[in-house]
Structure 1
């Protein structure tokens, strides 16, 4: 029996939760210590991290013994991580556009949430705005959405581990 197959739901969930905490600490540190203001797509990526963290926290507390619970938490976690991957990918795509193809800047997220229905806000944010195409920070030549995409790909190991746990041979 390999070491990975001995890991319980709680182990995979705590690992995923810990990685979510690290991702949020980096995001909040860049915002509050470095002074980088998050754009609407950055905020949506944070929501995906928090959603995944909540799934992992509940899974760790519940720690189901059967296959069904591990599969359910794995699928929920993978859904949250997949949403984050999609938003980060979209953000990178916006940043790759030539300047003349970048959408114009729209109203702020707070304003949109105050006056528009949630579905319309989501559609407007995902269609992008000029502020989301700005590259304010590079680390090793990669922008923040690129690093966030890498983070989500690494984070995907936790729900995949839960699914592995659920569907491994017994």
Structure 2
């Protein structure tokens, strides 16, 4: 028996809620402050949770489409963050190392003193060779598939 649209939406929104609770647990219980890109990855999950709640009241198909978009957005940010962590490309200058060539000692000191405490290009935790950003990307792609199934359900 296939799952109903409402059940699929609850599973997808619940997945975003679980990922948010995990991220907040790492932050508040594990003492791992998030970087700028980590924060960016959280917002689409919050939006997806909102789509799930609103889908229980009205417009479930429209909300499921929004859930697909939110899940794909956080997956894309997670993929971008993974590339920054692995050095495939440079991340935002406000949270990544940009080198010190061609800069005066005073400017370098000012840059160091104004740098954020948490860098986007360092991996604070990994499991099976994948960082939290990589795991978020994979989980979010799975959630996007569930949202898409909910969108297609009648």
TM value normalised by structure 2: 0.76
Q: What secondary structure, in the 3-state scheme, does the structure 1 residue paired with 2:75 have?
A: helix
In structure 2, what is the equivalent of residue 120 of structure 1?
Answer: none
The match for 2:27 among 28, 31, 35 is 31
After TM superposition, give the deviation of residue 102 of structure 1 in Å.
4.2
The match for 1:18 among 3, 14, 21 is 14
The match for 1:92 among 69, 74, 82 is 82
Q: What are structure 1's unaligned runs of at least 5 residues?
A: 63-68, 108-129
TM value normalised by structure 1: 0.70
Count residues with an aligned counterpart. 132
Q: What secondary structure, in the 3-state scheme, does the structure 2 residue paired with 1:76 have?
A: helix
After TM superposition, give the deviation of residue 139 of structure 1 in Å.
1.3
After TM superposition, give the deviation of residue 71 of structure 1 in Å.
3.3
Q: Give the direction of change, closer, same or farther, for the CA distance of 1:164–1:22 in structure 2 (3 Å limit).
A: same
In structure 2, what is the equivalent of residue 9 of structure 1?
Answer: 5
Cα displacement string for residues 61-104 of structure 1 (whole angstroms, at most 9, x for unaligned residues): 33xxxxxx443222111111111111111101111216xx7457
The reply to whether residue 78 of structure 1 matches residue 74 of structure 2 is no
Q: What secondary structure, in the 3-state scheme, does the structure 1 residue paired with 2:13 have?
A: helix
Cα distance in structure 2, aligned partners of 1:159 and 1:97: 31
In structure 2, what is the equivalent of residue 46 of structure 1?
Answer: 42
After TM superposition, give the deviation of residue 19 of structure 1 in Å.
1.0
Kindly indicate whether the alpha-carbon contact (under 8 Å) linking 1:52 and 1:80 is maintained by their aligned counterparts in 2. Answer: yes
In structure 2, what is the equivalent of residue 151 of structure 1?
Answer: 139
After TM superposition, give the deviation of residue 153 of structure 1 in Å.
1.3
Q: What are structure 2's unaligned runs of at least 5 residues?
A: 96-117
Kindly indicate which of the two structures has a greater share of residues assigned to helix.
1
After TM superposition, give the deviation of residue 143 of structure 1 in Å.
0.6
Would you identify which runs of 4 or more consecutive aligned residues in structure 1 move more than 2 Å? 101-105
Q: Give the direction of change, closer, same or farther, for the CA distance of 1:162–1:141 in structure 2 (3 Å limit).
A: same
